[in-house]
Homo-oligomer: A and B are copies of this chain.
C-alpha cells in the first residue's frame, strides 16, 4: 500500500458517497410520483428531513453502534461511546487501506437514512408527520446500526462457520427498510377507499415523470451503493460490480415488463420501474460474486417477483402505495438467498447461513418496528383523521399545496 493507491481508493469512496446521497432524491421523486398530488408536500417533506436525520443520528450514535470494534466481534450489540472520536492516523492507510476515518463515516452515514426512506413510501398518504419522524429517528439511529453490526461490524452473522454474505445490503439495508415498511403499512391500515366492498380500487400515482426520474436517479446512485461497497477502487472488482449492477437492473425491467404484460395485458411503466429496482435490490447481496449471466437471471427473477408481490400484498389488503415492501423486502430476501444459489459462494451451507441472516434480521426488525409503531398507535396515534386524509395531508399538516397554480382534480 502506498499514498497514491490510498488516495485513489479514498477518492472512489468519496465519489460513491455522493452517489449514494443522490439516491435520497431518487426516493423522494419516486415516492412523490407514485402518490397523489394532495399529499406531495408531505412525502417530500419526509424524504427531505430523513437524510438529515440519518446524517445526524449516525454521527451521534449510529456509527458507534455499527462498528463497536473487535471487542464485540461475534456479538449482537456493542457501544463504546457517542459522537465521533478521531483515531490515530485517521487520515492515513494505517486506518484503512481504502479510506480515511471521515470517508468511512460519511459513506456509511449516507446508507443509514435509506432504511427510513423505504418505510416512508409504504406508509405514505395517511401517517402523521410527528410519529413518522419519531420512528425514523429510532429506526435509523438504533435499529439499522445494530443489524448492520451483526454483519459489517463483525457481529455474529459474520462469524458463522460459513459466514452470512451480504455484499452491499440486500438484507442489512433493504430488508431492514422493508420490514419496517411492512409493519407500518399493516398497523396503519389501507388508505381510505383502497379496499372497498366492491373490491380493490386503484389510486394512481399523480406524476409518472417524477417517478421515472426517481428510478433513474436510484439506478445512478446504485453504482455508488454497490460499487462503493467494494471499499476500494480495485479495478477488477469494482468494474465487475458495475456490470452486474447494470445488467441486473436491465434484466429486472424486462422481468417486470413481461410478467406484468402477461398478467395485466398492459404495458405498466410503474411495474417496469419497480422491476428495475427489484433487480438492483436483488443483485446487491452478491454483486461481486456473480457473472454477467447470473446477474441477468437474478435481476430478471427479481423483476418477476415484484409484480407478483405487488398483487399479493394488495390481495391481503396491505396497502403499499409505492411498492416498497415488494421491492425492498421481497427483492432483498430474494437477493440474499440468490447468493446461496448462484455464483462463487453457491452451496447448501451458504443457503443455510443466508436464511439465518434473513431470519435473524427479519425477527429483530419486525419486533423493533412493531413495538414503536404499536405503542405510538396506542398513545399519540399514528394515522391522520379521516377528514384530513380526504382533503390531503399537504393542506392539513403543512397548510400548503404542492401545485397551487394548477387545477387539480378532487
Which residues of chain B come closer than 8 Å to A267, judged between CB atoms? Answer: 45, 129, 397-398
Which residues of chain B come closer than 8 Å to A234, judged between CB atoms? Answer: 7
Closest to A227 in B: B14
Closest to A113 in B: B250
How distant is A408 from chain B, measured CB to nearest CB, in Å? 5
Known: A15-B15, A105-B243, A217-B25. A251 touches B48 (CB 8 A): no
Bin the interface of chain A by size. 35 or more
From DSSP, what is the main secondary structure of chain A's interface residues? helix
How distant is A313 from chain B, measured CB to nearest CB, in Å? 20
Which residues of chain B come closer than 8 Å to A296, judged between CB atoms? Answer: 56, 59
CB atoms of A208 and B44 under 8 A apart: yes
Number of copies: 3
Most chain B beta carbons < 10 A, residue from A6, A38, A47, A106: A106
How many Å lie between the Cα of A14 and that of B234 in the bound state? Answer: 11
Q: Which residues of A contact B (CB under 8 A)?
A: 2-8, 10-12, 14-15, 17-19, 21-22, 24-25, 28-29, 32, 36-38, 40-41, 44-45, 47-49, 51-56, 59, 83-84, 90-91, 99-103, 105-106, 109-110, 129, 204-210, 212-213, 215-217, 219-220, 223-224, 227, 233-236, 238-240, 242-243, 246-247, 249-251, 253-254, 257, 266-270, 272-273, 276, 292-293, 296, 397-410
Q: Which 7 A-B pairs have the closest CB atoms?
A: A91-B236, A102-B239, A52-B250, A25-B216, A37-B405, A206-B405, A10-B235
